[in-house]
Amino acid sequence: MDQNSELYKDLDRILLTREEIAAKVKELGQRITRDYEGKNPVLVCILKGASVFFADLIREIDLPLTLDFMAISSYGSATKTSGVVRILKDLDNDILGKDVIVVEDIVDSGITLSYLSKTLMQRGAKSLRIATLLDKPARRKVTDLKVDYMCFDIPDAFVVGYGLDYDQVYRNLPDIGVLSPRIYGNQ
């Protein structure tokens, strides 16, 4: 999809281009390949936002990894976090004794991932690391959350594209952009 498409008209600006994203994702894949040498990690995709990042990242990791998927409620259709975390779809497989890497689209307040990390460690994972595409450190509310792998620090703006949505739309934009406040202005 090119940047003249209708969906791009709802953006104030493009924050990260597809080329910038691809370069960082490749770098991260290579780093994870080195860090997990000799291991068979389980990569957990947090649906739906991380799905595009996940699909690209796993293909940059040169290891005999396995995949699993989890869905968690966070935002609904609003643009501010509710603080309520609910598992909508759980993992298919046991993670007891496994090296788990949770793949998330964005860490904002950190509430979602903090809850999730604790839950997965309680299930007996051997190790657990977090890989996120985006991080908004200015908005962090949880202090005990360690983000192990991160591609981009971004400012406090609501972004969409490359898997990230607003009201389920814009996930298929190949680039990441700041959504124009006129789209969600009356919330």
List residues with catalytic annotation. 108
State how far the alpha carbon of 47 is from the alpha carbons of 7, 55, 124, 127, in Å: 22, 12, 22, 21
Stretch that binds ligand 5GP, among 29-37, 61-69, 88-96, 108-116 (CB under 6 A): 108-116
Q: CB nearer to ligand 5GP: give 36 or 109.
A: 109
d(Cα 67, Cα 91) in Å, to the nearest integer? 10
Of residues 56, 99, 108, 135, which one binds ligand 5GP by CB under 6 A? 108
- State which of positions 125-184 bind ligand 5GP (CB under 6 A): 158-160, 164-166
- Of 75 and 152, the one with the shorter C-beta distance to ligand 5GP is 75
Which of 75, 149, 152, 184 forms a contact with ligand 5GP (CB under 6 A)? 75
Q: Which pair of tokens denotes residue 162? A: 């490359």
Examine residue 51 and tell whether it contacts ligand 5GP (CB under 6 A): no
The two structure tokens encoding residue 108: 């904002």
Q: Which residues pair with 187 in a beta bridge?
A: none
Cβ(54)–Cβ(105) under 8 Å?
Answer: no
Total residues binding ligand 5GP (CB under 6 A): 19
Least distance between ligand 5GP and beta carbon 136 (Å) = 6
Residue with tokens 């005999």: 64
Among 70, 101, 109, 133, binds ligand 5GP (CB under 6 A): 109
Nearest approach, Cβ of 39 to ligand 5GP (angstroms)?
Answer: 26
Measured between its terminal Cα atoms, the distance across the chain in Å is: 29
Angle, CA of 41, 46 and 49, to the nearest 5°: 135
* HSE of 185, CA atoms in CB hemisphere, 13 A: 5
Nearest distance from residue 85's CB to ligand 5GP, in Å? 7
Site residues for ligand 5GP per CB under 6 A? 49, 74-75, 81, 104-112, 158-160, 164-166
